[in-house]
Structure 1
């Protein structure tokens, strides 16, 4: 509904005027559907973008391991990955990268061409601040004059605000209790902490009666926008209720050994399970965001085992279960994994790593083109005495170019939309 309507442990937001101005242009296509050059007709497409954000600045040098680089092992005598899983070569002269052993679940996806890595992605942010780097990345803005330039709304919100037609209440979903900043400005956003927890605030025996009363009340409302939003919200609640019951049945079947995808019992695993249920139910989901916390590994990071290895295993197992669960639908669902910045190359005195710059992103599913490592390797030359700046892996790929390419390939966008979704960025094709 206009403003916001809340459910238990879930929020439904509807926002108007996301870009402040109407958008018009000449018509073109999304797949077989029409759109304009400055508006997008998402139509009935099942294509979807899922963004997994590793909060805290993930050390991707220990995930996509430059096993070929002696400097890596020299800078990390205690926390480096000595026994990584070799990645198949992606062509003549390709560098011999390895995977962290706890990412073994992703190796078959890479080998089958369903998953790739994008090396040396990042922002131009030199602050070393988690808050500033995350804020910049989620809004799609620029770091200039020592600060992040303000930009209204998030980059995914601007994408959805270009829709030439109405979007459903579950077109944008943020898994968790808060709305992801990248979705701000979208016509509607649903923040869900869990499918089985989204219910009307009423006694269980009375929910059907309350829903019927609300439907009757708003059905006779003279304000068509209000009536339509109310109807969409009630439909959303009913569909989520059905999905929750189905999940309980599948959980029981898993216990009985039916072969259903087995997700880790973690926030990320449960969240991706919920997203898979929404996608398979065809509720009109276009973009979704989910976080994985705890990646700020300043102290006792570990190597093949230890603190970071636990997070890495959860990521790999959750993403693999999500892809398996989607089945054929994963050809239409693009999943990316990113973080606000990488870590410095050398281990610190606490056997951890400090804030760095570039990182390796992951892309899987629909918009991915073959199993490969995309982007050049910048090397690991670094002066450990430079303690006042977030150095580390150099940034060779602007995060906005990577994100727009992902959106372009997922939704068949025209390149001129790059400057609308990411104002101020001079787009360069990466994928």
Structure 2
């Protein structure tokens, strides 16, 4: 009896629900259900795991902030006038795992992603750019047709590998050449010791192609040249040899983890060079938190510092609300996305699943026509001598009082850099 009563009650409830639904007031004549929100997918391909995951975390945080800013203003306008929101799609490049990086690029190419920002590592960017199409409009070229707009991978010349590769990174060759020239002119120091992560593409190429020749060109004599690996934790032998050579300047072409390892060991051994010059990639909050005491007084070149209202606003908001840090590598994510909004609207993309390939090509072609765009420190120009590479303002910073502060602005950028 209880079962029968329950079943009748259930049936009555269902009948009431159906009648209630059936009795909903009809919409006005011609009224349709709200159309689903249009979205344009933007890829972010960075080191999200492993020793260099902080770079991916920072870049993805800036990406979320920039996309939120764009979407809050309505998103981007498509060719037919519709507005679409941007949506981030993240890929872990697995640096230094090249096969994972190549797989991530192929996955992005198979997804309805219109452009990718990244990668983090030059050792990933080089093979990834190598599988992009080399010759536009050549049906015999099987390369991936997907624009990459790099924010981090900084090894010289990478954009030349494919017409689909663009980069918003400074020239480390010019940066270190100018830094050592300024250092020589203002201090009179004459000797230098160099420490390098020899198994990491960016560290090794910057050491051999920018730091050493830049120092020698400025008149420094290299009296010590030590190396280690990205995963090393013992730097006692390298520091001991460097200490024995007693150079005026020590230049470290290494990332935060081993930079801090070397500096802590140098402190333990009582080795205090007059100046420590660090790699662009180590001018980050990660290094500051890892070895702030030992880092005090270190200098280096960077294309980002929170020295004006906009740069400070972006830096502070990303730190407070998105749990990331803005630095030389992650700042271009913001710059790239603000430019891509303009490029997408100018290119007149359709934004439909069946127009992904055409839309990618439109974005690539429109991006190739850009000559200048806004950066957080000032105007950035695409170079004419190296297509799809940029010339962007930079400065020398010093780690002082627990943070990186402006130390010297090269004369050619004193008018370009906004410092209000």
Larger gyration radius, structure 1 or structure 2:
2
Higher helix fraction: Structure 1 or Structure 2?
Answer: 2
TM-score bracket for this pair, using the shorter chain length: under 0.3
Higher relative contact order (CA 8 A, sep 6+): 1
Normalising to structure 2: TM-score of the pair?
Answer: 0.23
